[in-house]
Every structure is written in C-alpha cells, then in structure tokens.
C-alpha cells in the first residue's frame, strides 16, 4: 500500500493534515509522528512515498531531520515537503541545502497541499523508475556471462526500438552519455552528441517558447523537471515532440555534477491531439452555425405567426364578425320562436368563434407585444394564466416599459412563455412571480414559483429537466451569448434567471 508520513509536534496540525490527505488521497496509508526522532524511525521502517515535515519542532528541528533522512541509505530517495509558517528566503535556502524538495506555507491551503503532494509522488515514481533501471543495468554488467550477452543484446534491442532515450549531462549541460535510442528519434548517433551538444540544442523554442523559460530556469536552480513537453527538430529538420524528465546528480563530495534523465517521443500523440483539436474546432464552428440558424428560425417562425395572426384577425375574424352582425339584424324582425331561437344560438356560436379566434391570435403573436411592448405583453400573459389556471401571479419591473429591438422583444417573450408553460405543466405551483430588470448592457428576467421543485444532481440534463423547453431556451441564450441560472430544491420551488445581453 502507498504511504505518506507527516511529522509535526502539534497534534492539531497533524489531525488537520490527516483529514486533508484522507480526503484527497484515500488510497494512501498516512503515518503521524510528533517528534523528529520518532519520524526518522517510522521513515526507515515504512519507507513512505513522501514525507511532510514541519520545520519548527523542539529537540530536533525540520532541517536536522531532513539532513538525517537524506544522508540515510534507506530514506535518501524519499521526497520531503517542508511545512512551515516561515517564508523568509534564507529558510528556503537552508531547507534546499538540507535536501528538501519543496515548501508549503501555513496556514495550509487544501488545493495547494494536494498539488504539492502530487508533485512529491511524481518525483518518487520517476526516481524509483530510474533507480530500478540502473539496478538492472548494474546487474547485467556484473554478471559477465554468456547469459549476460544474451540479456544485454535483448535489452539493447528493446532500447533501440523504444520511443525513449536516456541521457546524462555535466553541470554545464553538455552531454556525457546518451543511449542509442536517440538515433531512432532524432537521427543523431551518440558519438555526434557526447561532449559536443548542449541538452537543449535540439529544442525548437520559437513555437513553444514557454518551455525554454521553464527548462532553463529549472536547470539553473538545480531542481527536478518532470514530463515537460518540448518541441525539437531531428537531424533532417523534422519536428519531433518529446517529454523531458531530469534529476540533478552530485559527485562524491556532494557537489552538483549535472543531470540525468529520460526523453520520450510523443509525436504521434501530439499529432493525434492536433487532429482532434481541429476536429473539435470544426464541430464547434458547426454548432455555432446551428445556433445562429436556430436564432434565425425563431425570428422567421415569429414572422409567420404574425402573418397567420393578422389573417385570422383581419380576414377570418372580420368575416365572422360581419356574419354575427347580419344575424343580429335578422333577429330584430318578427319571426317564429323556433327561428329566433336558432338565430340566437347561431349568433352565440359566432361570438364564441370570435372570442376563440382572438385568443388564438394573441397566442400566435400578441399584438400587445408589438404595440405596447414587452412589459405589457408579459402582464397580459400572466393575467391569462390567472384566469385559465387559477394561479396567483405577480409581475415586478423597475420600469413601466422596456425599450428593446423587435427581435429581442420576441425572443425574451417566447422564453418567458416557455418558462411559464413549464411551471404550469410540471411545478404544481399556486404562485408565479416574474421579475424584469434592465441595465445598459443586458436584460434580466427571473421566473419564481412555489411548486415542487426538481432535482439538479449530477447527470441530469436540461432536456430531462423540462423536456425540450429548458434545453431550447439555453440554446437560444447561448446563441445570444446569454446565460441561464437555475436555483431549485425539492418541495421548495424554483427560481430561473435569464440574462440576455444587448
């Protein structure tokens, strides 16, 4: 099982860090120690993957503990993260000289702690990998048998075809060793590189300038760099993408002697990512066109609605009205009771048809929206809801009228109607509140109800929440670069806010 050791003389600090680690690293076993000496013994026995070490401790401070751990063969490869409220540069330098790998300040931020521990774990993994490879090579060299020759040949063949190469450079960054895998990846033979080339000579920094700043800075301060992506040019000028991982090495006198590391060829992966990005860009562009089309279709649909409404009002509606007037004039004459009854019934039916045609006209394209504006249209819609569904409605607006372009009025009105219809169908509410606010940049419409609310848990899509209605509203808003916020809980109603920029 993977392990983390925390050394701190303060029990409260230990409990806090334990809770944070258990939350973010549930698969790790966490050991706690309140003294430097006890922590050293635990580290020797358990060999954790990383150590979090407090600096200010009685008897033996964190610097001394760090020095002992780094000088012990059993614990020298364990990354150490120093934890302290001390932020002075001199303390950081002292910690680095003692062998620490990084610092984190108190009070501890959870996200920073998680990121720093992940860095320590990556360092441990990479160092273990390199150390195991070195052990395998040492084993093969010591064997010196026929079997060794066979194994070495196999190993060299694997290295030759693997998409990686190992390297070592001196303190000036000049190659002192490079494996034969570099020939396959960059086209150079080791003899062309060792003693001749600088570590970053192959890098093409014009298209990836940030990698130059990072790598050169890390090399200068003699710190680990793990899995950084760099763009290189091979011997024929072809672009090659590599990840580079390097670790500082010291000589027998504990002086900085250079770096050892490994580069992996990730060109195929980068090409695939580029192709995928291009594909996603095309999809995004297509989606933008669809949203624009949806916007234009909404406006075109509204124009057709208005044409039909005008025909019903001016054409069919007028015809029915005239028929009703003529029948009424006949009813004034002396006719038989049966004829009068028929005329009265016919006249009533025509009046009902006129009323229904007017309602249909308003539902299709309310003239009040064009003549009196958005505020009056929303008020009219809420009045209709009160009459038809016996639901109390409230409308709040800072202004009696809101001046908007026709297209914008139409879109906002249709979205409000869609929200009101959803509330009537699904919420089982007896109160609906609509609020409209406007500033120089946008209009904000909020629809509030006291209904049953709905579930906003993970995995619930807009289309599932309110059929196609909420999804359609969201798509229209997206086309306008607007937004929709939903605030709801079960049995506590819902509050949906639309923001439409001008």
CATH class of 3-132: alpha beta
Give tens-digit pLDDT for 41-82.
999 999 999 999 998 888 888 899 999 998 988 898 899 998
Q: Looking at the predicted structure, is the pLDDT value of residue 462 above 70?
A: no
In angstroms, the CA 487 to CA 495 distance is: 5
Confidence category of residue 453, pLDDT binned at 50, 70, 90: confident
Higher-pLDDT residue of 33, 474: 33
Mean pLDDT value of segment 366-388 = 85
Report for 98-107, 218-227, 362-371: range of highest mean pLDDT: 98-107
pLDDT, residue 5, reads 94
CATH class of 366-502: alpha beta
Give tens-digit pLDDT for 378-399.
898 899 899 889 999 999 987 6
Confidence category of residue 434, pLDDT binned at 50, 70, 90: very high
pLDDT, residue 157, reads 52
Alpha helices in 390-461 (DSSP H): 406-422
Average pLDDT, the chain: 81
Domain 144-265 = CATH 3.30.450.20 = yes
The percent of residues above 70 in pLDDT, for the chain, comes to: 85
Mean pLDDT value of segment 457-473 = 62
**Lowest mean per-residue pLDDT among 268-282, 295-309, 386-400:** 295-309
In angstroms, the CA 106 to CA 30 distance is: 20
Q: Looking at the predicted structure, is the pLDDT value of residue 207 above 90?
A: no
The percent of residues above 90 in pLDDT, for the chain, comes to: 16
- Between the alpha carbon of residue 167 and those of residues 14, 198, 215, 464, the distances in Å are 41, 11, 16, 56
Q: Which of 22, 61, 30, 66 is nearest to 48 (CA)?
A: 30
Q: Looking at the predicted structure, is the pLDDT value of residue 308 above 70?
A: yes
Centre a 10 Å sphere on the Cβ of residue 231 and count the other Cβ atoms it contains: 18
SS3 label, residue 297: helix
Q: Is 408 exposed, middle or buried (0-12, 13-18, 19+ CB in 10 A)?
A: middle
pLDDT, residue 149, reads 47
Q: Looking at the predicted structure, is the pLDDT value of residue 407 above 70?
A: yes
Higher-pLDDT residue of 491, 138: 491
Q: Where are the domains of the chain?
A: 3-132, 144-265, 272-365, 366-502
In angstroms, the CA 335 to CA 328 distance is: 13
Q: Looking at the predicted structure, is the pLDDT value of residue 155 above 70?
A: no
Can the peptide bond before residue 317 be classed as cis, meaning omega within 30 degrees of 0?
no
Helices (H) and strands (E) in the chain, counts: 16, 15
pLDDT, residue 48, reads 93
Tokens of 11: 């029990």
Instruction: Tell me the backbone φ, ψ of residue 222, rounded to 5 degrees.
Output: 60, 50
Q: Looking at the predicted structure, is the pLDDT value of residue 160 above 60?
A: no
pLDDT, residue 432, reads 93
Domains 144-265 and 366-502 share a fold: no
SS3 label, residue 416: helix
Give tens-digit pLDDT for 163-196.
888 899 888 888 999 888 888 899 999 888 999 8
Map tokens 């002992």 to a residue. 68
In angstroms, the CA 412 to CA 484 distance is: 12
pLDDT, residue 121, reads 85
Give tens-digit pLDDT for 107-149.
888 888 888 888 888 888 777 777 766 665 555 555 544 444 4
In angstroms, the CA 54 to CA 61 distance is: 8
């Amino acid at each position: 099982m993977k392990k983390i050791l925390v050394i701190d003389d303060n029990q409260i600090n230990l409990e806090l860090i334990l809770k944070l680690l258990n939350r973010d690293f549930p698969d790790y076993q966490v050991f706690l120690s309140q003294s430097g000496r006890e922590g050293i013994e635990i580290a020797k026995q358990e060999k954790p993957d990383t150590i979090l070490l407090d600096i200010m401790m009685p008897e033996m401070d964190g610097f001394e503990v760090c020095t002992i751990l780094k000088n012990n063969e059993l614990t020298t490869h364990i990354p150490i993260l120093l934890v302290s409220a001390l932020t002075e540069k001199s303390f950081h330098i002292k910690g680095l000289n003692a062998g620490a790998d990084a610092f984190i300040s108190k009070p501890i931020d959870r996200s920073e702690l998680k990121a720093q521990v992940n860095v320590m774990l990556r360092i441990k993994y990479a160092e273990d990998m390199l150390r195991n490879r070195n052990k395998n090579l040492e084993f093969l060299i010591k064997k010196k048998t026929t079997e060794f020759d066979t194994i070495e040949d196999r190993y060299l063949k694997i290295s030759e075809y693997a998409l990686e190469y190992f390297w070592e450079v001196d303190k000036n960054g000049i190659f002192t060793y490079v494996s034969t895998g570099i020939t396959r990846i960059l086209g150079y033979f080791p003899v062309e590189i060792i003693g001749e080339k600088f570590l970053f000579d192959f890098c093409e920094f014009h298209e990836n300038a940030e990698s130059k700043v990072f790598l050169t800075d890390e090399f200068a301060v003699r710190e680990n760099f793990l899995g950084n992506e760099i763009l290189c040019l091979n011997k024929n000028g072809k672009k090659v993408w590599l990840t580079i991982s390097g670790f500082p090495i010291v000589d027998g006198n504990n002086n900085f002697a250079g770096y050892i590391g490994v580069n992996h060829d990730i060109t195929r992966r980068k090409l695939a990512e580029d192709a995928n990005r291009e594909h996603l860009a095309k999809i995004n562009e297509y989606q933008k066109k669809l949203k624009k089309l949806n916007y234009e279709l909404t406006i075109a649909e509204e124009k057709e609605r208005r044409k039909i409404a005008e025909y019903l009002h001016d054409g069919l509606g007028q015809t029915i009205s005239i028929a009703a007037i003529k029948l009424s004039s006949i009813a004034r004459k002396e006719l038989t009771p049966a004829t009068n009854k028929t005329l009265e019934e016919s006249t009533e039916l025509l009046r009902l048809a006129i009323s229904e045609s007017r309602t249909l006209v308003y539902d299709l394209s309310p003239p009040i929206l064009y003549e009196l504006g958005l505020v009056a249209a929303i008020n009219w819609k809420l009045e209709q809801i009160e009459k038809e569904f016996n639901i109390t409605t409230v409308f709040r607006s800072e202004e009696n009228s809101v001046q908007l372009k026709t297209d914008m009025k139409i879109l906002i009105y249709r979205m409000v109607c869609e929200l009101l219809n959803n509330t009537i169908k699904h919420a089982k509410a007896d109160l609906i509140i609509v609020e409209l606010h406007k500033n120089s940049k946008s209009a904000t419409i909020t629809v509030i109800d006291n209904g049953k609310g709905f579930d906003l848990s993970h995995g619930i899509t807009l289309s599932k929440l309110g059929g196609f209605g909420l999804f359609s509203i969201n798509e229209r808003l997206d086309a306008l670069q607007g937004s929709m916020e939903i605030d709801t809980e079960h049995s506590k109603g819902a509050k949906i806010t639309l923001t439409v920029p001008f």
